[in-house]
Amino acid sequence: MTGYIIRRLIAVPFMLLGISFILFMLLYVRPGSAAFAVVGSVMTDPEAQARFEEKFGLNDPWYEQYGTWLWNLVSTGSFGDRLTPPQDSVTGKLIEALPNTIEIGLLTIVIAAIFGISVGVLSAIRRNSVLDYITRGVTIAGLSIPNFWIALLLVTLPAGWWGWSPFAFEWTSFTQDPFRNLYYAVWPAMVLALASAAGTARLVRTSMLEVFYSDYVRTARSKGLRERSVVWSHVFRNSLIPVITLIGLQTGAVLGGVVLAELIFGIPGLGRLTYDAVIAQDYPLVLGSIMIFSLVFILVTLAVDILYTVVDPRIRY
């Protein structure tokens, strides 16, 4: 197991290298000009745009631009400087925004796992009952309704009805005021967790029903074990492998949804920072943000693989 983890960790830099090259080439062949977006939007001056491109090396060949960016990242850990004013460090902006995104992402995964697994287990135990039909209908609705639409309703309707909105007009970090911070962070987390929890619930129900009719479950019942022991020790644990896989894959959906969630709820996180960078054509910031998202997803998939062996010791790498 240790050797497998080491091999996976060694492969991480090479995966990030491939991702960075693909992203850089996509940004390089983009339509439009970053110099015009920054300089031309204020004053259409070809000489000013040329000086801007010269300053940031935008007029160099693509391989020189990529080589310079990669060397700075490997040697100093810096993603470069932003193209838009105040043209400060990209790394500093990422470090400032990343904790807020991690907080919302962790809250989303925890809420989705708790409610999804609970509803799925309850639906499987009470299969074909009224409760089962209700939970199945709710999960289908949760998968069908777009989360950005729910977020918009959550922000606008209470403001019109009661003069209250979960929009983070005054965002507070967790270290400054934990309770106020969680008050603003839990709303986008619940919106993002809705579809994830619904998908988890349906998969838990299906997996448990498959295990319920297994030979070893019938053997456990024939030995006189209590139904609670059969459900939790035999059925639930042996149905967790596909659930863990789904939760790991849902991390990608959460990372994608956090862009809209932070934008709608006004949270200064990595998703909102990426959106603003795309609009401003601040491509060093876009590249740095997506690289952070990619690293998080790679590490989550590694954690999922490790959890497999915890749930089922028969799995060996």
Query: Residue range 228-254: average pLDDT?
Result: 76
Tokens of 182: 């969680």
What domains can you pick out in the chain, each with its CATH number? Answer: 2-76 (no CATH), 90-311 (1.10.3720.10)
Q: Are 287 and 93 in contact (CB under 8 A)?
A: no
233 secondary structure, DSSP code: I
Say yes or no to pLDDT of 61 above 70: yes
263-297 residues labelled b (16+ CB within 10 A) or e (exposed): bbbbbbbbbbbbbbbeebbbbbbbbbbbbbbbebb
Span 75-101, pLDDT tens digits: 888 888 887 777 788 888 888 888 889
Angle at which helices 283-311 and 240-265 cross, to 10°: 150
Among 1-5, 59-63, 254-258, name the one with the lowest average pLDDT. 1-5
Q: Are 264 and 148 in contact (CB under 8 A)?
A: yes
Which residue type occupies 109? I
Mean pLDDT score of the chain, rounded to an integer? 81
What CA–CA distance (Å, rounded) separates 281 from 124? 49
What CA–CA distance (Å, rounded) separates 204 from 94? 36
- Is the N-terminal amide bond of 86 cis, ω within 30° of 0? yes
What CA–CA distance (Å, rounded) separates 22 from 282? 17
What CA–CA distance (Å, rounded) separates 67 from 72? 9
- Model-level pTM? 0.81
Q: Are 254 and 196 in contact (CB under 8 A)?
A: yes
Query: Residue range 63-74: average pLDDT?
Result: 86
Say yes or no to pLDDT of 43 above 60: no
Span 267-315, pLDDT tens digits: 888 888 888 888 878 888 888 898 998 888 888 888 887 777 776 666 6
